[in-house]
A and B are shown apart, each in its own frame.
Chain A
Amino acid sequence: MSRRPHGKLDLDPATVKQARALARKVGRPIVTTAKKHTTVAVERATLRLAGLEGADAEGTPWVNRLMDVVRADTGLEHGVALPVWDALARGEAGDLVSLAQKASAGSVTFRLPEGRDAARARTASRKQVGRGIKRIDQRRVERDRMIKRQGDAPRTPWIYLIVATGDIYEDIPQAQQAAREGADVIAVIRSTGQSLLDYVPEGATREGFAGTYATQENFRLMRAALDESGKELGRYIRLTNYASGLCMPEIAALAGMERLDMMLNDSMYGILFRDINPVRTFVDQRFSRQVHARAGIIINTGEDNYLTTADAIEAAHTVTTSQLLNEYFAKEAGLEDWQLGLGHAFEIDPEVPDSFRMELAHALLARELFPAAPLKWMPPTRHMTGDVFRGYLLDGFFNLVGALTGQGILLVGMMTEAVVTPWISDRDLALQNVRYVMNAAGELHRDFRPEPDGFIVTRANQVLGESLELMERILEHEHGLLDAIADGTFGLMKRPADAGRGLDGVAKKSSVYYNPASEILEEA
């Protein structure tokens, strides 16, 4: 009697187990490092959870002003909570905003409280930050209730469309129109370069560069607009933004408090593609993922980016490796399988023979390796040439792979990729493309079984094998992943652990370090 194959690719369960064991081995020292450090962004996120909003006349957020003074007086290594709530207890100010105002005027001096004073500051900070966490909990309950009342997306994959005008008041009607046209998820692309700002801009914004700034007010405005659309259309419209870059933890906190539903959040993207310091990234990422876990937010990871710089065939195993690492880091931070929109993309050169079979093999590998994760399927960009007719065909084949491999989130490809920002007709044609494929072949996966030792099965197993080899190579480095990132193992970029943006915002925690947000999130 022959044994029953495991799924469509017959992946060896022992190999899959080994892959996860290797990812854990690679990731664990990073988590240990992350736990030993804090960053200015984590501390500012804590202040935001405690309810500190707004900015001074020059637009510098109060969280930044307060953080800077506390840091100058007592350092970053003890955290912001003890000195701040000690000052409040000493009656330096009645609330956080006035404390921040007085601190920036130079009329408050912070100290590190000890003994009973420290205990008092701990209790008070925990109480106040706890309110922010509670608000996140309430927003999560509210989402569940609205999905029940308005209805959920009618099918998977969820159709994910992007708006990006730079002006939130232009984005809103476009997003509402996209929802009417069939979008289940709206992503508001951020202004280029926001990831490198060490503060979150304040208020509603009307100009950006190839995108719209992520601000608490913009989140609020778009959320309200999409709730309106949900009511009109009888299905809940999900909202997506980006928790990446130097303010990852703060944006995660704002997203939780303003009921965003999905956040782009990759473990290594900022390091490799934005030259942000690796330690800063891993510390910020862990905190932001804990917040996302609590908020019931689905994260989208950024593996598609690897394929925009490296060859999609040669680098296929780096995508798998990154997915495994992202999964490990995500689960360690408390995220569940249904929250892991692990990324991958249709980026193989269409001139390569059997490119479609290879795309199918790679997509199926992601599906079978992460059976309970929604998976985020990204359309071709690199080989979209301006020949919109050919691009439309390519998008059709991309959609077909999505249908055949049960992708959870499908970012709709535009035939005018690399030509113009999508026109109304581009979006309409793109959605027709998706609808045709889903209608014609949405159930094809039921009949589709690749030949047991055929091209697709062989290719998928080969990529998984290469991924294991890569993780073993990472482990051969003295400092594992950090060294591997430093010597250019991922992509072509060399990113040493002691360089990169945001490094000066990292500190090793002292023995009295206290952060009420981390404490509450770790308890969950």
Chain B
Amino acid sequence: MSEQDSSGDVETVAEQPPTPPEGSIVRPYGDTTGDGMVQISFTLPIPHSKVAEGAAAQLANKMGMDPALVVHAKPMGPGFTFFVVYGRVNHLVDTSKVVVVERDYPLLTPKEANAAIKRALRRRLTVVGACIGTDAHTVGIDAILNIKGFAGEKGLEYYRELKVVNLGAQVSVPQLVERARAEKADAVLVSQVVTQRDAHLLNTREMSAAFRESYPSDRRPLLIVGGPRFDEAMAGELGVDRVFSRGTTPGEVASYLVHQLTQRKAS
């Protein structure tokens, strides 16, 4: 089937949204334009048999693959079978309708981040991090700060142009403010992992209020909180500059810091 055929299909139906822009309809490519060929692999929790292979083909059919060719089936232990399936999908993709949430800052490599800091600040950028309240779980703050890092990315300590002060767990808000002042922190990172009855929200509000109180508004360090229970949209409500949620990597935090602080400097 050619590309024109498929866009024609869409046009013949009444009540359809406007025709998609030229060239925005695509389908997978194997070796011929428009062939729709894909390859998938998966495991079913059943012993290998003819029925198992049929089940794999059925799954592929339901996923829109028709015809589906089970090219490989291998038993893995007594109760599982692994499959590789090739086949044609009948789905169309409209690239004009793809919605992506764009990051509002560019992702930098450590090298680029270091260079940007050097260029904009001409000094190292100081980051103070802590777990506040009773939370003793430094997993989050350590994943972001320790050189060991997280998800294959090195932590902020790895960045030559970042000075990292990790205060660890169970730091009180006054201690944190005091240390941030002493270190002339450019940014303060707070992690909250294990919380009960919204303690992470209360702690964060207490923290942001304390910083507002002890700094003039134009001198206040960038306040960042992170943890699995936070909603990224709550920054304003909590009085912080940014909230990072589950799965955030050190590179994202570093890139955000650089973006914000070098911009702040420029403005």
Contact = CB atoms under 8 A, between A and B. Distances in A.
Interface of A: 177, 180-181, 191-193, 196-197, 209, 272-275, 305, 308-309, 381-382, 384, 418, 423-425, 428-429, 491-493, 501
B82 interface: yes
Interface string B116-140: 0000000000000000000011110
Interface in B67-98: 74, 76-77, 80, 82
B143 interface: yes
Contact of B76 (A209, A272, A309, A428): A428
A488 to B, nearest CB: 10
A272 B155 CA distance: 13
B35 to A, nearest CB: 20
A103 to B, nearest CB: 23
Contacts of B139: 191-193, 209
B239 interface: no
B168 A196 contact: yes
10 closest Cβ contacts across the A-B interface? A193-B139, A209-B139, A428-B76, A418-B152, A192-B139, A273-B148, A425-B82, A425-B43, A193-B138, A193-B142
B186 interface: no
B142 A428 contact: no
B156 to A, nearest CB: 12
Contacts of A424: 43, 76, 80
A309 B155 CA distance: 10
B76 A425 contact: yes
B160 interface: yes
A491 B43 contact: no
Interface string B40-83: 01110000000000000000000000000000001011001010
A274 B145 CA distance: 10
Contact of A492 (B76, B80, B160): B160
A493 B157 contact: yes
26 contacts: A177-B77, A180-B77, A181-B76, A181-B77, A191-B139, A192-B142, A192-B150, A193-B137, A196-B168, A209-B139, A273-B147, A274-B146, A275-B157, A275-B166, A309-B147, A309-B154, A382-B152, A418-B151, A418-B152, A424-B43, A424-B76, A424-B80, A425-B43, A428-B74, A492-B158, A493-B157
B138 A274 contact: no
B158 A309 contact: yes
Contacts of B154: 308-309
Contact of A501 (B151, B168, B193): B168
A196 B138 contact: yes
Contacts of A272: 147
B147 A423 contact: no
A491 B82 contact: no
Contact of A275 (B41, B42, B80, B146): B146
B132 to A, nearest CB: 16
A493 B158 CA distance: 8
Interface in B205-237: none
A286 to B, nearest CB: 23
Given A177-B77, A274-B146, 9 more contacts: A192-B139, A193-B138, A196-B142, A273-B146, A275-B157, A309-B158, A381-B152, A428-B76, A429-B82
B114 to A, nearest CB: 11
A491 B76 CA distance: 42
Contacts of A275: 146, 157, 166
Contacts of B77: 177, 180-181
Given A196-B168, A275-B166, A425 B41 contact: yes
Contacts of B158: 309, 492
Nearest to B42: A425
A129 B221 CA distance: 53
Nearest to A208: B139
Contacts of B43: 423-425
Contacts of A492: 147, 158, 160
A381 B42 CA distance: 23
